[in-house]
Amino acid sequence: MNGTRSLPRATVYPMSYRVVGTVADVIIFIVGFLGNIMICAVVKNTKSLQTPTYCYLVSLAVADILLVCAAIPEAIISYHLYSKQWILGHAGCAIMVFITFLAINAGSLSILAFTIERYIAICHPMLAQKVCTVSRARNIILTTWAIVCLYSAPWLGLSGTRPLRLADVTGMEKCDYLLSRDMYIYFFLFDVVVFYCVPLLISVILYLRMGLVLHKSMQDLRKQIGTRMPLRGWSMRKSSSCTLENPPRNCASMSRGASTKNPPKWLSVPGDESRTGPSTQRDTQTANATMQSRCQVVKMLIVVVVCFAVLWLPYRGLLVYNSLVSKPWLNMWYVLFAKTLVYMNSAINPFLYTVLSRKFREATFRMLACCSFGRINTRTRMGPSRSELGLRQISTKSRDIDSVSLATSATL
């Protein structure tokens, strides 16, 4: 009897907690699941998006789908049970923990992978021609997922159900780690360092390097615009509105003292180094568009990394703190807040891509337009009917007759 009195009593979550948690998680689940499915579909159906960078973004989307499918439904169910109660059995507990770690770690490595890929493409363009290919990206993704699967596989045996000992309720289980808490501290700390701190540190260093390279390239491009302008095209004046972003069609000729020595190859016209005119302007505009596209992609990826760092920080910080103190701190509302931010991180990427990437936004709108208008016209897919072919043949013959008559009259 004394042992029973020392046990905690069964508790349920407050109504406000259940309502807030359920509503937030349901919205995040719907948005995250459909949004990441949309990413995969858009990239698959858009040839211009089938690049190494978007391959890694698809890998990140798959990881987010796994996370929202494994963690959010279980969290919603837990809000309406007794505290710590588990109803999905021993196998369900082990599989849920395994998939959660798999998705989290695969997402972290996907972020690191597209950061390194962009760094090579921008800072080492010659190496990028050999390294940054779609086939190599797919092989890297498969290797990454295989490594993460092997790394996360021990959780299938290290997690399971334990009896939930309560003073007033019997026969319940909880999903827990099967070994003592002290044995997991180093594993958790290693996980935080390898899959959170290290990717963020590498990303910060590489994006700073990319920013410097892009800034220098933009300055060089502006200098070339000012020193290598076509005489009959457009040129740079100090007080004019001739800018990189909006070069006018007609500007004053450049001064005779402007230097045109050693222009970069990507601004010169092949076959005639002294040639000026529309082709030089087109080359410059192409270089400008390429530079702006690269800056846009890097900006989008930086925002993805920043959101990953900020939204994961409360949960990772709580995990590190509880691993170092003797008595864990598990405030109910803070845990809900931290977990909700983690779920938001898996649902926010589709919005970031749509807002920050013009190419992805246009591809998404095209796909949604096709889906909203329904199936394509049958005649468009099957080809013209026989009557239409007949009318086309008659029209063609009449045009031929008219052309013959015109030729005859011209000869006469």
Domain count, the chain: 1
Whether 34 maps to a domain, the answer reads yes
Q: Which two tokens stand for residue 256?
A: 């005779």
* 307: in domain: yes
Cβ 118 vs Cβ 297: under 8 Å: yes
**Side chain identity at residue 158, one-letter code:** L
Q: Is residue 108 part of a domain?
A: yes
> What mean pLDDT comes out for the span 230-235?
39
247, pLDDT greater than 80: no
Please choose, from the candidates 294, 346, 342, the residue with its C-alpha nearest in 3D space to the C-alpha of residue 314: 342
> How far, in Å, CA of 112 to CA of 200, rounded?
8
Residue 124 sits in a domain whose CATH number is: 1.20.1070.10
Q: Is residue 214 assigned to a domain?
A: no
Q: How many Å apart are CA 165 and CA 10, to the nearest integer?
A: 9
Instruction: Read off the pLDDT of residues 249-272 as tens digits, 9 standing for 90 and up.
Output: 443 333 344 444 444 443 443 444
Residue 369 included in any domain: yes
Please state which of the ranges 107-116, 128-137, 215-224, 329-338 shows the lowest mean pLDDT: 215-224
Domain that holds residue 49: 2-183+293-373
Q: Of the candidates 34, 9, 29, which has an alpha carbon nearest to the alpha carbon of residue 76?
A: 29
Residue 23 falls inside a structural domain? yes
pLDDT of amino acid 306? 95
Q: Between these two residues, 367 and 60, which has the higher pLDDT value?
A: 60
In-domain check, residue 258 = no
> What is the pLDDT, as a whole number, of residue 405?
38
Residue environment code for 354-374, b if the CB has 16+ CB neighbours within 10 A, otherwise e: bebbebbeebbeebeeeeeee
3-state SS string over 219-263? HHHHHHHHHCCCCCCCCCCCCCCCCCCCCCCCCCCCCCCCCCCCC
pLDDT in tens, 7-66: 777 788 999 999 999 999 999 999 999 999 999 999 999 999 999 999 999 999 999 999
Q: Is residue 150 part of a domain?
A: yes
Mean pLDDT of 107-130: 93
Q: What is the mean pLDDT of residues 321-333?
A: 87
